[in-house]
């Protein structure tokens, strides 16, 4: 490369923190805590004369002095800053020098983030250098490229051996390493007598590499790798060995091997583009939706955003026959707008892709006291499949059609495309899958734009976090140091995670409600925090009741006094309650709590610590609360069915969370003897089909006792009674017959008086169907005869209703008279 390396007029020198050049903060470039660098300019001439400048790398002695000052005095010390500034000002410094320097000053994760910013800023500066005739080409007349800015020697020196795919070495066996023989300069071994292979900066300590040749192709060099202490993972593109050519010369009667000493040993590993998921289209006929006119301010903002996206390579010019309108919206609290595209018509011709991740991972499954790190907002440029990209085209209009409009299409997933979230999930999963394979005990959560890494100790966390950052940076994602959180409490997807506990972040509860839309928003926020705070259906019922009525989102709503009290309970729960990360040593348990009609349950762990030895250590760890629906599909639901549904949901949830089952299920069963027998439990299951299904294959214990903890015993207790009010055999008692007529609306009950042996009757007229009329007769029978009796009816519907009435929970129905009859029946049968 040629020319002077001094920054041009108007370029940026060292930033105020003394850790690297940085621009003034602008709307497009916010200050970063990651040391960054803007590129120097490669001048083709100096003073009108062609010159060749020989670059000398940053002296190692200077780097050692800087590292010592950094270690002894700290990054923010005046001594270190002054030394760094004087050293950088005293020499011609190019981007590669700074990369070498900061690789020594930063830890591995900071350096990876620094390199990501460094690459991006070089990439953004390249277009302006290409426009200047003095900086557009190198000495050989070749156009300036990103490689020119990142290295100091020609692109073929020094030679590096590069991996063509990621390797996960699980054993200590030797593995053949295949190289990309098509890349020019990757095999510079033919015609040379000696090739020197040595370790490089990135060689893993646990990896051994030996050279060799294949019998069928002795002219090509091959490498064999093995891991001395498996397993280990080598990311795709990581440099593992440097290769140099050697010449033999004779001096003073002896033989000497001359090994070239490249000026700077920096190379850029080439990484193939990762394939992305191709969309399935319902039609290949182009969809064209005309761009609507934009106001001058909006058009100006659009042109600036298009210019920015074009510079980043997110869009390209196009002549696609597809078109969808674009518009600009203002970001809240910011001057900069956001470029959006109306893709409604495009979405109509795209085949849906099923969700790959239907919900967020629960942080309660992070083991207690394990170390965490959270990378936030890291996925913003997922590539579109090249075949799909032209279909996401748009046009930039002009005022009064004064010039032809410019047209572009996206190269990355556009916001608003219905399959974008699924493709993002799939793409990031493909990046993280080899990291998960190499992570060992560590846990990696990926959801939306965040990645959480959890490991049992700091060393493993640093290792796995490094692999994760490597994989993401290698795929082109821009990670910022301030977006990596290492210290507790860790903020993750709206939650604050401590070493043992989990609480929601400060949740803004909207107390001003004026429409149905406001109620939907409020209930949605509360439903999200319920599993961690235990907000019961009974607590929130006044708020849920506000959802009833008109379906229009604008229909008016006002908080009732009951709803206001419910919100006070919510605020109290948010300040006092919490969930817990699970204990690896303890089994999971489930308990049924609450009172009719709204039962709920808790998934928990219990540490058996005697009260005298607890010393403030709570034996209870709340993993998650389980709730039933506020409304039931059945008109009458028995308590046994509620219990069965709770257990079913809890067992399903624990399989989702932990892949296992409960050690114990606590069912509050009322017994006279105080202890349940096997025969009693079998009787309970025989009498209830729902419980049979829900406890199928359950091998754990069933307990009727509650743990000795205030939370389990402070509220009104629900007790499932094994006593039945209905006999399956005829009683030696009065027999009552009921009947009804739909035509005459007569509701009749008749019986034979045991005293007079005369038939008696009770006849009434009831409006409604024959079933309603006969149900009215049954209700009158229970009102007339409080003692046990036999009931005979010719209506299968009424017989079924009576058999399910004991302690039943009713669903509200629109027929008020019918609901009143059901309510009376349940009350009469249950008490």
DSSP string, 420-468: HHHHHHHHHHHHHHHHHHH-TT-EEEEETTEEEEEESSHHHHHHHHHHH
Mean pLDDT by 10 residues, the chain (831 residues): 32 33 37 36 40 52 76 78 70 70 78 83 81 73 77 38 51 61 38 57 66 61 71 59 56 48 32 67 94 90 90 90 92 75 94 86 95 84 89 92 91 90 86 85 90 93 89 80 87 92 81 84 87 89 83 82 88 89 96 88 90 77 91 80 92 94 88 62 72 87 85 76 79 91 87 90 88 90 91 89 86 82 88 75
Instruction: Give which of 342, 352, 355, 349 is closest to 281, Cα–Cα.
Output: 349
pLDDT at 183: 38
User: Residue 18 is encoded by which pair of tokens?
Assistant: 């003394």
Residues 300-312: tens digit of each pLDDT: 999 999 998 888 8
What does DSSP assign to residue 183? S
95-113 CB burial, b ≥16 within 10 A, e <16: bbbbbbbbeebbeebbbbb
What is the C-alpha to C-alpha distance for residues 616 and 708, in angstroms, rounded to an integer?
A: 15
Of 284, 310, 334, the C-alpha closest to 394 is: 310
- At 6, list the tokens: 């001094």
User: How far is residue 168's CA from residue 617's CA, in Å, rounded to a whole number?
Assistant: 43
Instruction: Kindly report the number of other CB atoms within 10 A of residue 53's CB atom.
Output: 14
The tokens describing 186, both together, are: 């990757």
Q: Report, in this order, helix, strand and coil percent for the chain, each rounded to 5.
A: 30, 20, 45
* CA dihedral angle for residue 326, residue 328, residue 332, residue 333, rounded to 10 degrees: 150
Domains with residue ranges and CATH for the chain: 1-155 (1.10.375), 159-258 (2.70.40), 296-353+362-499 (3.10.10.10), 506-569 (3.30.70.270), 582-721 (3.30.420), 734-830 (3.30.420.10)
Q: Are strands 664-666 and 589-595 parallel, antiparallel or unpaired?
A: parallel
Q: Which residues contact 405 (CB under 8 A, 6 or more apart)?
A: 291, 395, 396, 397, 398
Give Cα separations from 280 to 388, 394, 426 (angstroms). Answer: 9, 21, 15
Question: For strand 734-740 and strand 789-793, is the pairing parallel, antiparallel, or unpaired?
Answer: parallel
What is d(CA 146, CA 123) in angstroms, rounded to the nearest whole number?
Answer: 6
C-alpha span between 398 and 404 (Å, rounded): 7
Give tens-digit pLDDT for 534-585.
Answer: 998 888 888 888 888 767 777 888 888 898 898 888 888 888 889 999 999 9
Non-local CB neighbours of 322 within 8 Å, separated by 6+ positions? 286, 287, 288, 346, 390, 391, 392, 393, 409
Which DSSP state fits 760? E
Other beta carbons less than 10 A from residue 634's beta carbon:
12
Residues with Cβ within 8 Å of residue 801, at least 6 apart in sequence = 636, 775, 822, 825
pTM, entire model: 0.65
CA distance 47 to 54: 17
């Amino acid at each position: 490369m040629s020319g002077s390396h001094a920054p041009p007029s108007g370029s940026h020198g060292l930033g105020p923190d003394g850790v690297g050049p940085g621009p003034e903060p602008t709307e497009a470039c916010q200050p970063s805590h990651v040391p960054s660098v803007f590129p120097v300019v490669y001048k083709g001439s100096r003073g009108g004369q062609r010159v060749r400048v020989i670059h000398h790398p940053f002296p190692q002695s200077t780097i050692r002095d800087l590292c010592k000052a950094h270690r002894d005095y700290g990054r923010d010390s005046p001594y270190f800053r002054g030394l760094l500034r004087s050293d950088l000002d005293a020499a011609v410094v190019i981007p590669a020098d700074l990369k070498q320097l900061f690789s020594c000053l930063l830890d591995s994760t900071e350096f990876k983030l620094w390199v990501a910013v460094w690459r991006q800023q070089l990439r953004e500066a390249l277009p302006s250098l290409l426009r200047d005739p003095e900086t557009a080409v190198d000495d050989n007349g070749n156009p300036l490229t990103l490689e020119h800015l990142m290295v100091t020697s020609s692109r073929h020196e020094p030679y590096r051996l590069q991996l063509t795919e990621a390797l996960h070495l699980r054993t200590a066996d030797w593995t053949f390493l295949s190289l990309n023989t098509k890349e020019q300069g990757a095999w510079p071994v033919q015609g040379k007598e000696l090739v020197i292979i040595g370790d490089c900066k990135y060689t893993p300590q646990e990896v051994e590499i030996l050279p060799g040749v294949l019998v069928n192709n002795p002219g090509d060099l091959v490498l064999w790798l093995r891991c001395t202490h498996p397993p280990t993972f080598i990311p795709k593109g990581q440099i593992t060995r440097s290769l140099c050519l050697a010449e033999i010369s004779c001096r003073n009667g002896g033989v000497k091997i001359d090994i070239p000493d490249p000026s700077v040993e920096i190379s850029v590993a080439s990484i193939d583009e990762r394939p992305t998921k191709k969309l399935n289209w319902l039609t290949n006929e182009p969809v064209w939706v005309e761009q609507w006119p934009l106001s001058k301010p909006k058009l100006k903002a659009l042109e600036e955003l298009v210019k920015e996206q074009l510079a980043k390579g997110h869009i390209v010019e196009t002549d696609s026959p597809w078109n969808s309108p674009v518009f600009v919206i203002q970001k809240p609290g910011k001057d900069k707008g956001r470029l959006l595209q109306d893709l409604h018509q495009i979405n109509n011709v795209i085949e849906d892709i099923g969700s790959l991740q239907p919900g967020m991972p629960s942080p309660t499954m992070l083991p207690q006291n394990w170390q965490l790190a959270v990378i936030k907002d890291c996925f913003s440029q997922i590539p579109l499949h090249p075949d799909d990209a032209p279909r996401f085209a748009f046009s930039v209009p002009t005022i009064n059609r004064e010039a032809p409009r410019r047209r572009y299409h996206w190269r990355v997933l556009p916001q608003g495309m219905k399959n974008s979230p699924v493709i993002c999930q799939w793409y990031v999963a493909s990046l993280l899958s080899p990291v998960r394979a190499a992570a060992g005990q560590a846990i990696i959560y990926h959801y939306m734009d965040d990645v959480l890494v959890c490991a049992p100790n700091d060393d493993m966390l640093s290792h796995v976090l490094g692999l994760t950052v490597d994989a993401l940076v290698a795929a082109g994602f821009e990670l910022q140091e301030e977006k990596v959180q290492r210290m507790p409490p860790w903020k993750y997807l709206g939650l604050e995670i401590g070493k043992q506990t989990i609480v929601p972040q400060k949740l803004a509860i909207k107390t001003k409600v004026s429409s149905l839309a406001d109620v939907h928003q409020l209930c949605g926020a509360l439903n999200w925090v319920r599993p961690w705070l235990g907000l019961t259906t009974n607590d929130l019922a006044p708020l849920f009741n506000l959802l009833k009525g008109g379906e229009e989102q604008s229909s008016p709503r006002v908080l009732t006094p009951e709803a206001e009290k419910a919100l006070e309970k919510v605020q109290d729960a948010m300040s006092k309650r919490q969930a817990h990360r699970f204990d690896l040593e303890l089994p999971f348990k489930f308990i049924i709590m609450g009172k009719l009609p709204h039962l709920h349950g808790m998934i928990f762990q219990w540490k058996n610590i005697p009260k005298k030895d607890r010393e403030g250590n709570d034996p209870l760890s709340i993993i998650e609360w389980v709730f039933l629906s506020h409304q039931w599909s059945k008109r009458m639901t028995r308590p046994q069915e509620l219990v069965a549904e709770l257990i079913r949901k809890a067992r399903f949830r624990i399989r989702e969370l932990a892949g296992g089952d409960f050690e114990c299920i606590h069912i509050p069963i009322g017994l006279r003897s105080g202890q349940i027998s096997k025969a009693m439990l079998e009787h309970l299951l025989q009498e209830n089909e729902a419980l049979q299904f829900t406890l199928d294959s359950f091998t754990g214990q069933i307990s009727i006792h509650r743990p000795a903890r205030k939370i389990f015993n402070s509220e009104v207790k629900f007790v499932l009674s094994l006593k039945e009010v209905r006999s399956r055999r005829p009683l030696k008692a009065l027999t009552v017959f009921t009947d009804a007529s739909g035509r005459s609306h007569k509701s009749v009950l008749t019986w034979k008086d045991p005293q007079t042996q005369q038939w008696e009757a009770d006849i009434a007229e009831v409006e409604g169907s024959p079933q309603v009329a006969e149900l009215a007769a049954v209700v009158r029978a229970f009102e007339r005869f409080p003692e046990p009796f036999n009931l005979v009816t010719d209506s299968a519907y009424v017989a079924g209703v009576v058999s399910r009435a004991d302690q039943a929970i009713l669903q509200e129905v629109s027929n008020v008279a019918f609901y009143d009859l059901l309510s009376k029946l349940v009350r009469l049968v249950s008490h």
